[in-house]
Structure 1
């Protein structure tokens, strides 16, 4: 790599998808210089279905983008329902009513419910926020040719695919967000073994401009997602992408796409086929998330079924966890165990999310579809009633109502003081060590979550004459800390302990009945130096 122009940055992010850009946003808030390189031109030609989950929306709230995501284009009055149907406009067997974005009730556990924002809306929005070169760190049309690392950093060779110019980038760390195939993961010798049988599916993207009007004329309430229950090929989702006239349908097999679209709708309606793409579903989690100064995030670290929408959101969580730890390393206050905790904390989340997503997928794939479901007979009515009961009792709606998956992961980590807890069905976030600190409204429009994000926050629901010692111990180690007094009795009841230390990623690091007896030891533990 000699003889080439060399640029420098603190963190080189390879891959400009949502996870790579989320990491860039987090690093920017921590005043960490980064460069994001992506081989594509940034255009989304076949948008993936993209529900931004509630925990991800909380993180985008921190990064200042939640409002833009909510106003990206999904109509506020379009139902968020999920319906299991023989065909769109055919027999409706079961419906999970979720209201609309404008009318659904406020959720007690988050200020930011999930939001529909497919990739052709989300990616451009993130690109504008991150900024494209030369005004920002995102460089499209740039390919990584190889890299070398030593004790002090990573040197990568980069080619500008427009000009064919090659140059090198010297960075303290490289983060691979380069997708499921991840050449960087392969170059690091990190395996990501399959955990379940691979599947092959197709995404058929089409327009049906008259479909919403025709459904309304029949007195039918539209749904956001339709689960088709017609055949082996048509048993997956047909989903509205924009709440208007564009839809994505997941199918299996190699039947003609136009015929499949026609079969999925119970009446004649004009359609326009936009694209038909094959994709391979693999269920993988990397054996390791780190190789020296190279770290994995997003699909490079894990790929899982889209059933439940956990994949993107697991990756956004990676970015939030890794961002503050890289910031600590580069600011000089991290201990030797800081970056090692990234894998310790995030890999179990990926494994758990993978199994939850696969459970949802198998529920759909293994569901029997008796021919009577489509019959206009008493036997058909009976078959549909029995199927509705099975869907209700079989947890079908849990694919779209899974707060425990989005919020219920606690980190058993060297950076956390205290025992993790078991998650029950009625569990609500509080101040359990390792878990995301609970949301509550401090005042109108301001959540407890808005207090967290930069450095550590010590929430105090009671007074103590030892707080000066805590502040001094953290300051001596250059660990950013803000001591915040909260006098709200309801929030104190929710958090349960009078002193709660929250990390920069919003997870609880420690809690106690009194201020810490040895604040220096606590500061060393939470910065990975104990």
Structure 2
């Protein structure tokens, strides 16, 4: 069968992770088509925050400034506060300042940003472009996938006209969500790890609420009302849009009218309009495999996390960055036979760690007992609220909003990573570091120029010393067709941060190898980091 269109990669799903996958492929010169069954509209945004590692990747893809400038007010509080009701008694506050007043970040050039999904999706989609001028095909549903030894043939249906067509590609990347029909068609198990729970997200507009709250306004308001109303009410756009999360199954009130639930959550008399009421199931799972032949799972198709902590989308975006350079290497002909398999090896443990941390955050909220006395406007109420504040402090509620190990501290272990011969256990927990497998550390090389800006086009050899083996090292990579550039760095503070005289960084910004001397023969190293070494299953 002759396909109607041919490309290198078909990406299925136009959510933030699918769009990030497209940005990664575009940055590497890979031809692709992105099939999205909807029209990219986001009537009920769930994602609200973009983590620092995602922002670093957006920086590389050229969209970080647009994401950061999408509309969140610089003077809006980033605090999280635990309250009896919004505008009622305040028990505990995590002070995180505002975008304009928070302290500079030492470990990243791109700190986290507030950009809800109904802002983020248009920014990313506009950057890529919608057909016929861009690779995104909206209202385009995937009706079937047939795999062959050389590629995949994807049958697509135009949802407006009903017309069918086919796209032939070398690979398919499924970013089609937690229920992922493609994952199911591949027969990849994705067992749930914890009991499925049901929630309601009520989206409402309250144009005067921030003004009425004044200095008491926040980003997150954790309610302490009941088993159903103990989840966050979140400011989405910093002006008038809010989202209330309600737990289903805890009490009859959870099934009440949305206006009643919003009114119950608010202690101030303010006009508001309910915009939507979305019931959803929290299913925490990680797929057993992330690959089936020429089909790869990315984002919620591969792993679904509790939103507690905001790790889900960010885990998916990092997965896109891991897979993207490996697909590009395969398509360019310099990948070894084991390279693509390391996508699962590297990303699955990261997904599991993120799921477990997010679930701990969720359970901290679910298991919290709320004494009725905290609602009293009496001396007994003040004592009860003070005691609850102490319990909140001891329970570590701040972990949900300060998780550098999840966002920036994950470390890959795979056949294409060359570990140190001797590894100091203290180095393993110290972040940031240049340990092989870790994200290469950020340092400023010049005003506005980060070490991270060196990484992306290919491998990068950072040289903090001279070596007469450098030319031979570069030739060894060139003989294998592996793109490599070398950079001399004389800044002592950067040398101290990177710890070794020579550090090899992968196209995705993770350290592949480091040493105080270049090897006498770099051919074996070049083969290993491209997935052609003995440990990668190659002869």
Is TM-score (shorter-chain normalized) higher than 0.5? yes
Answer with 189-198 or 371-380: which moved more: 371-380
Structure 2: gaps (5+ residues): 248-253, 534-539
Q: CA separation in 2, counterparts of 1:83 and 1:77?
A: 17
Q: CA separation in 1, counterparts of 2:404 and 2:398?
A: 12
Q: CA separation in 2, counterparts of 1:249 and 1:239?
A: 6
Q: Is 1:224 aligned to 2:219, yes or no?
A: yes
Q: Is 1:345 aligned to 2:340, yes or no?
A: no
Query: In the TM superposition, what is the alpha-carbon distance from 1:421 to its structure 2 partner?
Result: 7.4
1:237 aligns to what? 232
Q: CA separation in 1, counterparts of 2:239 and 2:334?
A: 50
1:163 aligns to what? 161
Q: CA separation in 2, counterparts of 1:133 and 1:241?
A: 30
1:288 aligns to what? 289
Query: In the TM superposition, what is the alpha-carbon distance from 1:268 to its structure 2 partner?
Result: 1.1
Query: In the TM superposition, what is the alpha-carbon distance from 1:524 to its structure 2 partner?
Result: 0.3
In structure 2, relative to structure 1, the CA distance for the partners of 1:394 and 1:201 (3 Å cut) is same
Answer with 255-264 or 350-359: which moved more: 255-264
Deviation sequence 1:211-266 (CA, Å, 0-9, x none): 111112xxx33101110111111100000000011100100221221111111111
Q: Is 1:279 aligned to 2:280, yes or no?
A: yes
1:497 corresponds, among 500, 522, 529, to: 500
Query: In the TM superposition, what is the alpha-carbon distance from 1:422 to its structure 2 partner?
Result: 5.9
Query: In the TM superposition, what is the alpha-carbon distance from 1:423 to its structure 2 partner?
Result: 8.1
Query: In the TM superposition, what is the alpha-carbon distance from 1:427 to its structure 2 partner?
Result: 2.5
Specify the SS of the correspondent of 2:8. Answer: strand
Q: CA separation in 2, counterparts of 1:152 and 1:101?
A: 49
Contact 1:408 1:423 in 2 (8 A): no
2:152 aligns to what? 154
Q: CA separation in 1, counterparts of 2:303 and 2:361?
A: 17
**TM-score normalised by the chain length of structure 2:** 0.96
1:126 aligns to what? 124
1:177 aligns to what? 175
Specify the SS of the correspondent of 1:372. Answer: helix
1:513 corresponds, among 513, 516, 519, to: 516
Contact 2:48 2:117 in 1 (8 A): yes
Specify the SS of the correspondent of 1:517. Answer: coil
Q: CA separation in 1, counterparts of 2:267 and 2:243?
A: 17
2:49 aligns to what? 51
Query: In the TM superposition, what is the alpha-carbon distance from 1:163 to its structure 2 partner?
Result: 2.1
Specify the SS of the correspondent of 1:40. Answer: coil
1:464 aligns to what? 467
Query: In the TM superposition, what is the alpha-carbon distance from 1:424 to its structure 2 partner?
Result: 8.4
Contact 2:291 2:297 in 1 (8 A): yes
Answer with 386-395 or 315-324: which moved more: 386-395
Q: CA separation in 1, counterparts of 2:216 and 2:425?
A: 39
Contact 1:111 1:447 in 2 (8 A): yes
Query: In the TM superposition, what is the alpha-carbon distance from 1:39 to its structure 2 partner?
Result: 0.5
Contact 2:472 2:522 in 1 (8 A): yes
Deviation sequence 1:97-132 (CA, Å, 0-9, x none): 111111111111111111010010000011101110
Q: Is 1:206 aligned to 2:204, yes or no?
A: yes
Q: CA separation in 2, counterparts of 1:214 and 1:421?
A: 54
Q: CA RMSD in A?
A: 1.3
Contact 1:25 1:130 in 2 (8 A): yes
2:28 aligns to what? 30
Query: In the TM superposition, what is the alpha-carbon distance from 1:49 to its structure 2 partner?
Result: 3.4
Specify the SS of the correspondent of 1:469. Answer: helix
1:473 aligns to what? 476
After superposing on structure 2, the runs of 4+ consecutive aligned residues of structure 1 that deviate more than 4 Å are 419-426
Contact 2:3 2:168 in 1 (8 A): no
**TM-score normalised by the chain length of structure 1:** 0.97
In structure 2, relative to structure 1, the CA distance for the partners of 1:102 and 1:426 (3 Å cut) is farther
Deviation sequence 1:169-210 (CA, Å, 0-9, x none): 110000100000101000000010000011000000001111
Q: CA separation in 1, counterparts of 2:457 and 2:489?
A: 18
Contact 1:49 1:241 in 2 (8 A): no
Specify the SS of the correspondent of 1:22. Answer: helix
2:485 corresponds, among 482, 486, 503, to: 482
Q: CA separation in 2, counterparts of 1:445 and 1:477?
A: 34
1:14 aligns to what? 12
Contact 1:148 1:154 in 2 (8 A): yes
Deviation sequence 1:478-523 (CA, Å, 0-9, x none): 1000010000000000111010000000000000011123210000
Deviation sequence 1:370-392 (CA, Å, 0-9, x none): 00111112221111111111111
In structure 2, relative to structure 1, the CA distance for the partners of 1:366 and 1:283 (3 Å cut) is same
1:97 aligns to what? 95
User: Residues 22-421 of structure 1 correspond to what in structure 2 (within 5 A)?
Assistant: 22-216=20-214, 220-252=215-247, 253-418=254-419
Specify the SS of the correspondent of 1:497. Answer: coil
User: Residues 442-457 of structure 1 correspond to what in structure 2 (within 5 A)?
Assistant: 442-457=445-460
Structure 1: gaps (5+ residues): none
